[in-house]
Amino acid sequence: MRLKMADINKICVIGAGVMGSGIVQLLATYGYNVTLVDENEEILNKAKNAIEKNLERYFVAKNKISKEEAENYLNRIHLFVNKDEAIKGVQ
């Protein structure tokens, strides 16, 4: 069975460093529900804060997206420290 991009609705990214958080932000803006997993909760929270700041600074402040759109993107991002929980429902 081959998956098509249209069939994918939840993606899991493992690692909340610079690359992981950037990938998550991009996927969320493309409409995907994204799970970000890292065994360090502090790093997860820093990643979420960085994504919020990026959306505000580079998109909302420059009138590229509305504050409401930024909130919609953020609502698509889910944080987990337990990878088994994080990958439930991922295709």
What are the distances in angstroms from CA 27 to CA 33, 51, 77?
8, 12, 9
Q: Which of 5, 9, 27, 38 is nearest to 77 (CA)?
A: 27
In a domain, 82, yes or no: no
The enclosing domain of 72 has a CATH number of: 3.40.50.720
pLDDT (tens digit per residue) in 21-75: 999 999 999 999 999 999 999 999 999 999 999 999 999 999 999 999 999 999 9
In a domain, 5, yes or no: no
pLDDT level of residue 91 (50, 70, 90 thresholds): low
pLDDT at 1 over 80: no
In a domain, 68, yes or no: yes
pLDDT level of residue 90 (50, 70, 90 thresholds): confident
Q: According to the model, what pLDDT value does residue 89 have?
A: 78
The structural domain count of the chain equals: 1
pTM of the model: 0.88
In a domain, 1, yes or no: no
